[in-house]
Structure 1
């Protein structure tokens, strides 16, 4: 059956690069949301824990519970919380989320610094802090998401200036209202790599930990990142077919010469993007031409090998389908076996 192999050495390499850049392993938080960007949350969590990571970020409580035993701090980015685990920190995007939280809940405030999607608006910070104090909720962290890390221009720096102002404001209110100063973080992968003097308490690195960076400009250190995941497919059967033979739905592929053609056990039902014949030619990582159209459960290729590596670098597929590595990776079904190597 198809399988995703996770290279533990590549993952460690990436965390080493990031830790060296920020100057401390302790300041490195990793993002494990959405099944660890399609890599497998339980598998990657084991690697992160072994490395010494203390803080991680997940999509919801379901993901948090799967890895609760591995980390000191697990921030839940969306949804609600049914348990009051001591290492779970719920993200607060709006003050109404505070209404149903029990006393002593641990939370992190998300602040809107320019993406204008989720988070507390800066002008409402004081009233939200007052509500937190009234309800006797523990403010563990305050964070933002700078949505301009990949881009050239002033927007990234402008958002960071806003966050620095917010940090000072919250430190002032902490002293005034009598609560402990929370931890602060605002940088994702690209924001981390482009910053030379990081003043936050930690960084939140997702994509770079898996071996990718998607900036519109070159960052030399990013060249050392190594993709962690490789997707493999196993052969279903092989046919020897004559020149001119049509293959698959609507006969989109017509052989240009006598060939051995095999089918392999992964398709768009497993999250591999669908090749319909309109894309440029795609060769697997080990050099075999994929023959469209691919189907829900399988694809054909000019190969007789029992197992082929579909890809070991998601950027190639991302370019073909005019998207980003995130989408290629997170699209992979959780039903595909993940194996650490």
Structure 2
């Protein structure tokens, strides 16, 4: 049994117990949780309320945690113990079939006009992971449960590692003030265990369109400058194999979205050729192929030891569709950013936002 929750008021040297009372309406408790889901012991982003399932039921609340696992939150109503537990498992089995697009649609219906990526970033100060709903956590909210429900939930949690738990609330009223106290049936741990099923990944992870790439154009004083990349048509990286290796994945025809860290997206263009050492790459300038290193550059692309290919600066020629100067980068909360020099850009939110901002959809 969970520990009994008690509350006492201190009156001088005397303690007076405050007797718990029932919440007048379960919808009221639902609203309390919706307003601050940390009541459940975890930072959660509510993404839906009274969400209709494909089987005729309505899930009280759906939420995401910082890993983008989905929490199915069901308030206990007047049902038999087996119905209560079976219902939340049934809801969880349905939620497990939902792809990323389904989760986004649920949120858009719940919060029209707000992108899930933005809400997630505001809540957790993190970019929405590429995989959403790769695991589920089932939570029953109740003031109490009978021995059968407790036995079933413990069995599923402890013997089968099913992430299911009961959160107990007690409501206290004292002197015109209301208080809530909370405890768990099973002491909470990191409940959401990521699934290893590759068949789920295609639904829970945004698909790559095979064309778009994110490129981090890391400007720094005395070194690489975006003004050069913008003027002469290139992106570059170097100073170690880790930096240049991913840049070499860019192939002719790929579309790159160039981003300056802490500034924003500054350019979108098409890759014209394979990556080469900066001091060997030729670009078309004023109608002629010209050695990039021989042009008038604002930045410095040489470094000690760069006779070694792993240390050298590498560059990829790009024909820009649209660029903006450094310091005028485009950024919205929730957009994709990554520490790799180049990586596949899967996040449709970023592609759409940058395309709109740069007028690419009008071309």
> What's the TM-score, normalizing by structure 2?
0.25
> What's the TM-score, normalizing by structure 1?
0.26
Higher helix share: 1
Higher RCO (CA 8 Å, separation ≥ 6 residues)? 1
